[in-house]
């Protein structure tokens, strides 16, 4: 089971890299510029890690964690601009992008809003139909990606709690983040085995996981990465 993280967001990307298989690089919407994109791409290449784009609502003030009212065409344009910005940096380094994973509020809105999901999938397919679309497992984004003929990756999370619906608990809710490395490792182990994970407040839900994510800005992310990597690779 592969482990992925979102990088280029001002965290300890170099420390995380030995534990990762795939990274999604911030490309100007919530954070990032040409220099940070190039640095992240080089870092991924140096470690043999697959790299993709991490587009968001263009909202640096709120770090892309606030949904913006926008038409489908506006969302498609924002996503296109950010993918192309990263792809241009990759081309300068003789590298190719492998996937697209929306960030923050855009990711969460696309999980439940079919129109937003279709706008993102349309943009990705127009840039490069070989790009995989990464989205919340079983969500509208996965459905839209499949309908657009894109490869898709159902994503699960080692460091976030789930609701019984399979949605993520809001970051504003106490207990939404899993900060204990042992707890994150156990959740990753359960996800990789295809078993049902515990939900916040009791109960359990089964989540399909093609790739498992941890966040570089979660407190103690490096210790979490070590523990999760060990759980996925050594049982």
At 100-154, the pLDDT tens digits run 999 999 999 999 999 999 999 999 999 999 999 999 999 999 999 999 999 999 9
End-to-end alpha-carbon separation of the chain, Å? 11
- Measured distance CA(165)–CA(172) in Å, rounded: 18
Q: Residue 165's closest CA among 201, 115, 119?
A: 201
What distance separates the 2 farthest-apart alpha carbons in the chain? 49
Tell me the mean pLDDT in the region 79-104. 98
Share above pLDDT 70 across residues of the chain, in percent, rounded to a whole number: 100
- Measured distance CA(118)–CA(125) in Å, rounded: 10
SS3 state at 199: strand
The average confidence (pLDDT) of the chain is: 96
Dihedral sign of CA atoms 194, 157, 214, 212 in order: positive
Helix H or strand E segment including 142: helix 140-147
Tell me the mean pLDDT in the region 69-87. 98
Tell me the mean pLDDT in the region 79-99. 98
pLDDT at 232 over 70: yes
pLDDT at 235 over 80: no
- Measured distance CA(193)–CA(30) in Å, rounded: 34
The pLDDT of residue 202:
87
Tell me the mean pLDDT in the region 150-165. 96
The pLDDT of residue 13:
96
Confidence of residue 234 (pLDDT cuts 50, 70, 90): confident
The pLDDT of residue 201:
82
Note the pTM of the prediction, 2 decimals.
0.96
- Measured distance CA(129)–CA(143) in Å, rounded: 15
The pLDDT of residue 156:
98
At 177-217, the pLDDT tens digits run 999 999 999 999 999 999 999 998 889 999 999 999 999 98
Beta bridge partners of 77: none
Residue 104's Cβ-side half-sphere holds a number of Cα atoms within 13 Å equal to: 23
With DSSP H G I counted as helix, E B as strand and the rest as coil, what are the percentages for the chain, rounded to 5? Answer: 40, 20, 40
Tell me the mean pLDDT in the region 33-59. 98
């Amino acid at each position: 089971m592969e482990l992925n993280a979102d990088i280029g967001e001002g965290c300890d990307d170099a420390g995380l890299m030995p534990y990762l298989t795939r990274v999604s690089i911030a490309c100007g919407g919530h954070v990032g510029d040409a220099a940070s994109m190039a640095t992240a791409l080089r870092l991924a290449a140096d470690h043999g890690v697959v790299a993709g784009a991490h587009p968001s609502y263009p909202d640096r003030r709120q770090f892309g964690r606030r949904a913006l009212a926008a038409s489908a065409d506006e969302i498609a344009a924002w996503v296109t601009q950010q993918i192309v910005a990263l792809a241009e940096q990759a081309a300068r380094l003789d590298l190719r992008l492998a996937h697209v994973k929306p960030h923050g509020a855009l990711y969460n809105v696309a999980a439940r809003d079919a129109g937003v999901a279709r706008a993102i999938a349309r943009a990705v397919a127009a840039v490069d139909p070989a790009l995989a679309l990464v989205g919340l497992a079983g969500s509208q984004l996965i459905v839209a990606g499949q309908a657009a003929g894109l490869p898709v990756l159902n994503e699960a999370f080692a460091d976030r709690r789930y609701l019984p619906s399979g949605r993520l608990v809001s970051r504003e809710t106490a207990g939404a983040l899993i900060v204990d490395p042992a707890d994150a490792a156990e959740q990753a182990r359960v996800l990789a085995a295809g078993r049902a994970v515990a939900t916040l407040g009791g109960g359990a839900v089964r989540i399909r996981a093609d790739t498992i994510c941890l966040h570089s800005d979660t407190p103690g992310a490096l210790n979490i990465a070590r523990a999760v990597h060990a759980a996925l690779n050594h049982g």
